[in-house]
């Protein structure tokens, strides 16, 4: 019997990442920016084309299966994305489309759940039975392994920690349409708006003390600018990053108390690009909020491959997601 391969797909808000590999890990991978067209068929065709390019030359029978890791909400029963916050489609029947295109078994899993599997099997969670993976990226999500089993929930949307409420006043509205969610304040998509809100709420004294702030006096359109200006010593940017740190710490404390992990790893573009700004406030202050014993908290050693590795593992062992 020849070597078997699988394909892992990580659907992001702005790009799709695809890998091909074996049980031993990733062999090759690619990433493409997605064009969000009006027709869902066009969106699915883009994913299929990327996969076809990556698997070109593969002989029949070599492909074991496909697993798609996607932001939620998901509908696992029908293999579809359902009103996903960062896509304009009410439903994306991704499993049926990939089964038809490649004539192999296809699976669907929440992207943070896939990353939790990646951490458990390949990363800092190896040898542990209670692992939580937190992604702080365009959105905020979580995946939990409890007593050695991945938590899925009735629809596959367990541990949607980014959509827990951290501000009862609801000053910021999440992309899902609900007020006060963690994702509405600390995700890459939300940080510019949160910074603008904090600027509007500055008192006269504070505003006068920050007249030289490049961030306060300019357009705030990108989360990366907030962090880079804070590193440059901009006082208003530093205040924004400090507020983000407080809210992230509260969110992580909620995770610790809800899931009681042995280790909590953090990934996603915002965290990976600004590890100290994200990690240090949590490590320093989470004890003040959590009642459970605080676990090891660290940036994932897998970089942005945690979700891909988790997705890649599923076709070889569907029991990982209860199949």
Structural domain boundaries in the chain: 5-116+305-321, 124-301
- Domain pair 5-116+305-321 / 124-301, same fold: yes
Say which DSSP state 165 is in: B
**3-state percent helix, strand, coil for the chain, nearest multiple of 5:** 40, 25, 35
pLDDT-derived band at 13 (thresholds 50, 70, 90) equals low
Sequence-ordered strand ranges (E) for the chain:
5-11, 15-22, 25-33, 63-70, 74-75, 80-82, 91-92, 105-110, 131-136, 140-146, 149-150, 263-267, 296-299
> If you classify domain 5-116+305-321 with CATH, what class do you get?
alpha beta
* Cα 180 versus chain centre, distance: 19
Q: pLDDT (tens digit, 9 = 90+) per residue, 53-90?
A: 888 888 778 999 999 998 878 888 888 987 776 677 88
Residue 173 pLDDT > 70: yes
Residue 312 or residue 85, greater confidence:
312
Label each residue of 172-241 as H, E or C: CECCCCCECECHHHHCCCCHHHHHHHHHHCCCHHHHHHCCCCHHHHCCCCCHHHHHHHHHCCCHHHHHHH
In which element (H, E) is residue 98 found? helix 94-102
> If you classify domain 124-301 with CATH, what class do you get?
alpha beta
pLDDT-derived band at 322 (thresholds 50, 70, 90) equals confident
Q: Is the model's pTM score more than 0.75?
A: yes
């Amino acid at each position: 019997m020849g070597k078997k391969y699988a394909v892992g797909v990580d659907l992001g808000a702005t790009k799709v990442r695809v890998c091909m590999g074996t049980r031993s890990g990733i062999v090759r991978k690619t990433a493409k920016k997605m064009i969000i067209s009006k027709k869902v068929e066009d969106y699915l065709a883009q994913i299929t084309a990327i996969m076809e390019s990556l698997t070109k030359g593969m002989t029949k029978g070599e492909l074991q299966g496909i697993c798609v890791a996607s932001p939620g909400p998901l509908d696992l029963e029908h293999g579809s994305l359902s009103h996903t916050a960062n896509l304009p489609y009410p439903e994306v029947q991704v499993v049926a489309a990939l089964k038809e295109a490649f004539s192999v078994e296809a699976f669907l899993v929440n992207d943070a759940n896939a990353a939790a599997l990646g951490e458990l099997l390949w990363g800092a969670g190896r040898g542990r039975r209670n692992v939580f993976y937190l992604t702080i990226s365009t959105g905020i999500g979580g995946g939990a392994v409890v007593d050695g089993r991945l938590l899925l929930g009735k629809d596959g949307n367990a541990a949607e920690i980014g959509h827990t409420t951290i501000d009862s006043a609801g000053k910021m509205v999440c992309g899902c349409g609900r007020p006060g969610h963690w994702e509405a304040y600390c995700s890459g998509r939300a940080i510019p708006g949160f910074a603008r809100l904090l600027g509007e709420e500055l008192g006269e004294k504070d505003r006068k003390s920050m007249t030289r702030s490049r961030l306060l006096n300019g357009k705030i359109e990108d989360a990366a600018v907030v962090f880079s200006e804070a590193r440059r010593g901009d006082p208003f940017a530093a205040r924004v990053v400090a507020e983000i740190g407080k809210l992230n710490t509260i969110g992580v404390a909620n995770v610790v108390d809800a899931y009681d992990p042995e280790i909590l790893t953090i990934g996603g573009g915002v965290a990976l690009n600004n590890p100290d700004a994200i990690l240090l406030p949590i490590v320093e202050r989470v004890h003040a909020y959590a009642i459970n014993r605080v676990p090891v908290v660290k940036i994932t050693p897998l970089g942005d491959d945690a979700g891909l590795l988790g997705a890649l593992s599923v076709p070889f062992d569907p029991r990982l997601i209860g199949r």
